[in-house]
Amino acid sequence: MGGRIKMELLKERIQKDGKIKEGNVLKVDSFLNHQMDTGLFREIGKEFKRRFDGEKITKILTIEASGIGIACIAGEEFQVPVVFAKKTQTKNIAGEVYTSRVESYTHGKVYDILVSKEFIGKEDRVLLIDDFLANGKALEGLIEIVEKAGAHLAGAGIVIEKGFQPGGERIRARGIHLESLAIIESMDEKTGEIRFRENVG
């Protein structure tokens, strides 16, 4: 129960500091994905540890940029290395990479994500971590990379899921262990009201 009580703090924070913008955008950039409250991230990391305890996680995989901070603090809780998928090819990355194509809702464009083959292998039990789940395209890209690596997908931990968009349902339908710490059932741009799904976790 301790974890649930802590995650009520997350929901209160979303209620207090989240701003609803047109186009179903929830701005939580004062504490989650532009300015970051690392004390909250620590509680989030502990809660992911609680929910995926027993999964024998060997590696955390996230995607740049806003997943990285949460994943790093979770990485300390799990005591495993953290890898972030990169969004564009740079000089600094080896040629030998796993890739996946992702369609971004936020940016309205398609991009490739890549992970060096050195950092995920068949022996790994991978936990995916990200800040948001909406249409699920980024998470599906990460899943594809885990599959290409032949690693075991242990599950996915998300901070905020937009329950009224299809990503979460589609990923659960595949039998993937998905844990979202706050699932938004509905939000109203005019009134500012945010309703959460009950009894998560």
Residues that bind a copy of itself (CB under 8 A): 21, 23, 25, 27, 29-30, 33-39, 41-42, 64-65, 68-69, 71-73, 75-76, 79, 81-84, 86-88, 90-94, 106-108, 115-116, 118-119
In this structure, what are the phi and psi dihedrals at residue 61, rounded to the nearest 5 degrees? -120, 130
Q: Is 76 or 188 the residue whose CB approaches a copy of itself more closely? A: 76
* Structure tokens that stand for 196 in this block: 């959460």
* Residue 170 CB, nearest approach to a copy of itself (Å): 22
Q: Is 2 or 23 the residue whose CB approaches a copy of itself more closely? A: 23
Q: Which of 111, 126, 131 is nearest to 34 (CA)?
A: 131
The Cβ of residue 118 has, within 10 Å, a number of other Cβ atoms equal to: 10
- State which H helix or E strand residue 98 sits in: strand 97-104
* Residue 105 CB, nearest approach to a copy of itself (Å): 9
Measure the CA–CA gap between 45 and 79, rounded to whole angstroms.
11
- State which H helix or E strand residue 50 sits in: helix 38-51
Do residues 9 and 43 touch, judged by C-beta distance below 8 A? yes
Q: Is 52 or 84 the residue whose CB approaches a copy of itself more closely? A: 84
* Residue 172 CB, nearest approach to a copy of itself (Å): 25
* Residue 199 CB, nearest approach to a copy of itself (Å): 29
Three-class SS state of 19: strand
* Structure tokens that stand for 75 in this block: 């990485």
Q: Is 34 or 101 the residue whose CB approaches a copy of itself more closely? A: 34
Q: Is 82 or 181 the residue whose CB approaches a copy of itself more closely? A: 82
Measure the CA–CA gap between 141 and 139, rounded to whole angstroms.
5
Q: Is 53 or 118 the residue whose CB approaches a copy of itself more closely? A: 118
Measure the CA–CA gap between 43 and 38, rounded to whole angstroms.
9
* Residue 29 CB, nearest approach to a copy of itself (Å): 7
